[in-house]
Amino acid sequence: MPSLTAHLLHLDEPALKAATQHPFLEAAATRSLPVEQLKTWLAQDRLYALAYTNFIGALLAKVPIPTTSDRESTLEWRAADLLIDCLVNIRSESKLFEETAAAEGWLDEICDARPNRHTRAYQDLFAGAAAAQKPLIVGLSVLWATEECYLRAWKHAKSKMDSGLKVKEKDVMQRTFIPNWTSPEFEAFVRRIGALVNRFGSERAGEDGWEWEECETAWRQTMWLEKEFWPDVKAEKKVTFE
């Protein structure tokens, strides 16, 4: 029987490719990203991160915390421990967004932005996946799907970068954001989420059960949202951050 994550990754490969190889990513990697598109992405990703914080909190509230002596070896504690780390990580990312915006003189503009329809759709997806009637595995699958896509997307961007660039030649995307989501630490974190999803998928849900079907639906929704979340890249003024 395939693992749940392997099953989901092969469910709709064209959709996965569209979500993780968007033109925005190549533009971000090659200093050809229009300023307005970068600011749009930064503002909406910050709002996404804040919604993600609530999402993780809601998932954590669903986990029954064991009190026995073998607590740390239980699947429930592994889930709680991971979700706590998710909160720590997203706090750092939110700070990264705001510090970068402040350094570029955009902080007020970024923080005054309202969620667009795709960010609102993500807020709805998070709320639905963490709803009381949903099994925890659905929320964990959405969590993994978002992080897996982000890892793949920014690794795609990194593959388009000029490897010969010196540090002083790199812009803010090449210097800050692309390294942030292609680091070995981030990849290990994503793999850790995937391993937990697979444990829940094999031990708490069956391949032919309704839980897997719920995860498939959530995966398809996430793939569509990931693709739509990237701003369209148009022929506007290029970013020239130094």
Residue at 77 is within a domain: yes
Q: At what angle do helices 117-129 and 136-159 cross, to 10 degrees?
A: 140
Residue at 146 is within a domain: yes
Residue at 236 is within a domain: no
Q: How many domains does the chain have?
A: 1
Residue at 238 is within a domain: no
What CATH number should be reported for the domain holding residue 138?
A: 1.20.910.10
Whether 80 contacts 60, CB under 8 Å: yes
Residue at 61 is within a domain: yes
What mean pLDDT do residues 83-90 have? 98
Residue at 10 is within a domain: yes
3-state helix, strand, coil in the chain (%, to 5): 70, 0, 25
pLDDT at position 175 over 70: yes
pLDDT tens, residue by residue, 186-211: 999 999 999 999 999 888 776 667 89
Residue at 240 is within a domain: no
Whole-prediction pTM: 0.93
Give the C-alpha separation, 40 to 217, whole Å: 28
Residue at 211 is within a domain: yes
Residue 48 belongs to what domain range? Answer: 4-229
